[in-house]
A and B are shown apart, each in its own frame.
Chain A
């Protein structure tokens, strides 16, 4: 989709074109608006089109949730359509917005929603929240706050996850660890005992890192926080090349240089096959890891290890309403969002998918408590949730920020380059890429 514009935009972009062209554009647009489907459905339910990224098991849960909503009332009817991965959904939405064929509500992941917010295409939700008497303080704070700009909410948490520490219980028992390490120091201390080698090849590592494509920048983020640093502050001042973040980088680099951590093609497969004793991975992977390990060994989970501080970030996706939809549809769409993120909705969703419950009150319910006893590892993740923080602007708000940082991490871990110069370069790139965002923000607020 890279280099592309619409014919109309091209014409519109060139100055001084005749009125005839402008006229034809307007008439086309007005015909597009002339027949909105809703109004034709007079008297019947308002139809809401909902685009999402969930298929297979997750898709079934999503369909079930939509069905429950449609059966729970007779004003709104939601149609759910799967549009591919988070990335593909965002790409489709981009195209659909230009063609004025966008849905009313869409799933958008942590790194994508801001792009649409910046272009004024997301509807503000604050009034709708108030009109539906929703107590926003019941949403898990870090999750809710991530979707708030200038006091207005645009993106409500739905399918959220966080990093979690996973370990192989048997291997940890061999070196005398009965639980997840509280600090990275603890892990480093036993790491040499966990490692096994065949010649130069590490056949069993103490820890495994993903690559940039598998979002190493997401998992490194809390480590930077643990060292007291950050990728950036909320105003896009880049801090990844400052002392604390560089210390964290040196820790990551040494994990590989010292030979106790690897960077395999797929860390979760390595873990399931006993090729690494531990790793950090999404809470969303818990279901898959559990299945793939089967009864080969016991899986232990824990909070992320600490350094100076504890640090853990949020992740995953939320729901947003498209500003181009008619008010009536926006209201109807919000009714669905309210349902899906209600304590009952989020309980159903999280028990069927492994995503985090987004409401504080959901955690205390009886069904949830029972679910925890059956799934103790899931409880670890939920217990960690209140301690999480929203992500740094550099990763989620700068276009491609995640990959820019991730590729820098590959350089220090795979190529074993020195941390400071690499992070300086990363910081320079991030600063440069942040410029258009800052300009757009200024335009939006000014």
Chain B
């Protein structure tokens, strides 16, 4: 599995003095295994208690009917899943999740990379600009909601006024089922582009300057330098960002809750919102657990795919 995962091992093997006798080598390995366990133990222990355990109980819950208060849980087998896959709403929800994730991840990553490249140039005031770009990630959802309701207002909002200049009339962003999803994606990208920008910037800092010098001496143009130096050297970060952004956007909740509550007519009802609605509002623990499991399986599958395909293209130092 995990295509290129042996990269790390390969590197470690290189580091072992190959001249050592075999017995010493084995002892050394064992010591290394022990150290590995020691290093990862606290992290995995906490995950075990606070993440994996809830997820395991979630699997059990997906097969019961329970209102979260009653002392008794009724075992219903696959009925919750049957309900989900037989429901039109759930199909809409799956489709919405896909659209939202593609739009949100694509937007945040492409714009994030572009902004990072821009703000990595020796420009004056770029630190101020970076602070502005990062600031939306610092804000809590509720206050953002009211700001954007004003921006999206089809009669007097900022966007409507801009569109008027170009001679286009504004859609009813938040109240039209066809436009609510793009609106929510715009806000998500606005709020999260600073996050990927900062990580891309950190990645750009790590690229040694001499690589560019060398490429320049070879007569490489701007685009070619980007293709041959920046992208490969950035690939570990890109790989990281693609996976984490996908997982984050599948779980994007605040903005949808604040802006549209999944509406109008379920137009922005995504899987995570559906889980919330079934669990926290309808108190239907079984159905929520089943939907959460579907979400988990999708995210797991996507990550596995990324790791197989993605890590082969990743260039490590």
Contacts and interface: CB of A to CB of B under 8 A. Distances in A.
Touch A–B, Cβ below 8 Å: yes
Interface of A: 1-7, 9-10, 13, 87, 91, 94, 97-98, 115-116, 118-119, 121, 198-201, 203, 211-213, 263-266, 269, 275, 399-400, 403, 407, 410-411, 414-415, 433, 436, 440
B154 A414 contact: no
Contacts of B174: 265
Interface stretch (B23-31, B115-123, B273-281, B298-306): B273-281
Contacts of A4: 54, 57-58, 61, 68, 279, 285, 289
Contact of A3 (B62, B155, B175, B266): B62
B193 interface: no
B282 A400 contact: yes
Interface string B57-89: 110111011111111110000000000000000
5 contacts: A1-B280, A3-B279, A7-B57, A211-B264, A440-B70
A5 B73 contact: yes
B238 to A, nearest CB: 32
B303 to A, nearest CB: 20
Contact of B285 (A2, A118, A263, A410): A2
B149 A3 contact: no
A1 B68 CA distance: 9
Interface of B: 53-54, 57-58, 60-62, 64-73, 149, 152-155, 169-170, 174-177, 260-266, 275-286, 288-293
A403 B292 contact: no
B279 A115 contact: no
B277 A403 contact: yes
Contact of A201 (B57, B60, B155, B262): B155
A212 B69 contact: no
B264 A13 contact: no
Contacts of B153: 265
A115 B283 contact: yes
Contacts of A121: 69
Contact of A1 (B177, B260, B279, B286): B279
A111 to B, nearest CB: 9
A266 B174 CA distance: 10
Given A1-B68, A3-B285, A94-B283, 4 more contacts: A2-B292, A3-B286, A211-B263, A407-B266
Contacts of A116: 69
B281 A2 contact: no
A303 B294 CA distance: 48
Contact of B149 (A7, A97, A265, A275): A265
Contact of A414 (B58, B265, B282): B265
A410 B264 contact: yes
A186 B174 CA distance: 31
Contacts of B66: 5
A46 B261 CA distance: 42
Nearest to B261: A213
Given A265-B149, A265-B152, A3 B292 contact: yes
Nearest to A111: B281
A212 B263 contact: yes
Given A211-B264, A265-B175, A5 B60 contact: yes
A5 B175 contact: no
The 8 closest A-B pairs by CB, nearest first: A3-B289, A2-B279, A2-B288, A213-B261, A400-B282, A3-B58, A119-B69, A3-B61
A91 B279 CA distance: 10
A123 to B, nearest CB: 15
A3 B293 contact: yes
Find the residue from A2, A115, A198, A440 having the highest chain B CB count within 10 A. A2
A119 B265 contact: no
Contacts of B261: 211-213
Nearest to A432: B83
B266 to A, nearest CB: 7
Contacts of B266: 407
B34 to A, nearest CB: 30
Contacts of A399: 67, 282-284
A272 B283 CA distance: 36
Contacts of B64: 13
A440 B266 CA distance: 29
B265 A403 contact: no
A264 B175 contact: yes
Given A97-B69, A212-B263, A410-B263, A200 B169 contact: yes
B252 to A, nearest CB: 16
Contacts of B73: 5, 9, 13
Contacts of A199: 169
A133 B71 CA distance: 35
Contact of B69 (A98, A198, A400): A98
A251 B284 CA distance: 33
A99 B119 CA distance: 50
A211 B261 CA distance: 10
Given A5-B61, A203-B155, A400-B281, A415 B265 contact: yes
A2 B84 CA distance: 15
Contacts of A414: 175-177, 264-265
Nearest to A213: B261
B200 to A, nearest CB: 34
B139 to A, nearest CB: 19
Nearest to B70: A119
B265 A87 contact: no
